[in-house]
Amino acid sequence: MGMITLVRHGQASFGTDDYDRLSSLGKAQSATLGAHLRHAGRLPDLVLVGGMRRQHETYQALADAAGWDHVPVREDPAWDEYDHEAIVSGAERPGPADPGQSPVSAPGRTVATGDNVTFQRRLDAALVLWTRATRGGRFGEETWTQFHTRNRAGLDRAAAEAGPGRWVVVVTSAGPISLACARLAVAPPPGDADGAPDEATLRLWPALNRVLVNSSQSRVVVGRSGLTMLSFNEHQHLAPDQVTSR
């Protein structure tokens, strides 16, 4: 069997001019995970990192603490996060977001401000509209279907690298991890050739996305019968004051 470890990036700089960078706590969280993985007693065979700054900064802090100086690293943009700013802005824009749907009302507020609880409510509502939209443009350049497709392709590529006895680490974000794990948890029936998400995945994904902890790890076993989610959102390596989800 092979193993894929999906790592969420450390805490990003929410509420600042540049969200896509780690906070000081985010760097500490990433280093804590790296120190934890160092005790595993082995090196990964490959690390895949999304193309975002916060993902690369997480890998660097993690790798420094883990002693992964000579581990092969490859960037894979399939593991980039969805554009939360475009999605929330699109959902809160006056006028229907899609035929039969109404926008979320949030006049006078910018996307990256407000307390975490308030913003999470706005994001949850916006993601529902995004996943149900039947046309693109309003929520940014990427549709939900495109996000789902690249997420599936990224996981397939990671699985292809995680042959028997191999360990692949993926450093990514909450959206891609929670979607991959939602699909595995729902376990769609064999023969679903188009890979379209079913209603169970659409319902489960936001719930998993909401609770994923910064610098957590979720593990997927790669076996002869396919992929199996072994764990989700492991974060026992973090001290209580290091546990954050935004």
Interval 168-212: pLDDT, tens: 999 999 999 999 999 999 866 454 445 566 788 888 999 999 999
Question: Cα torsion for 59, 64, 70, 73, to the nearest 10°?
Answer: 10
Does residue 142 fall inside a structural domain? no
19: confidence class by pLDDT, cuts 50, 70, 90: confident
Q: The CATH number of the domain where 169 resides is what?
A: 3.40.50.1240
The pLDDT tens digits of the residues spanning 95-147 come to 555 544 444 444 333 455 557 788 888 988 999 889 888 665 788 889 999 99
Q: In sequence order, what E strands does the chain have?
A: 2-8, 46-49, 73-75, 167-172, 217-223, 226-234
* Number of structural domains in the chain: 2
Does residue 146 fall inside a structural domain? no
198 and 90 within one domain: no
Question: Whole-angstrom Cα distance, residue 159 to residue 212?
Answer: 22
Tell me the residue range of the domain where 53 lies: 2-81+151-242
- Give residue 80's Cα distance to chain centre: 8
Does residue 172 fall inside a structural domain? yes
- Cβ atoms 125, 104 nearer than 8 A: yes
Q: How far apart are the first and last CA of the chain?
A: 33
202 and 170 within one domain: yes
Rg (CA), the chain: 18
CA distances for 85 relative to 18, 52, 91, angstroms: 12, 15, 10
pLDDT of residue 94: 63
Q: In sequence order, what E strands does 137-238 have?
A: 167-172, 217-223, 226-234
91 and 67 within one domain: no
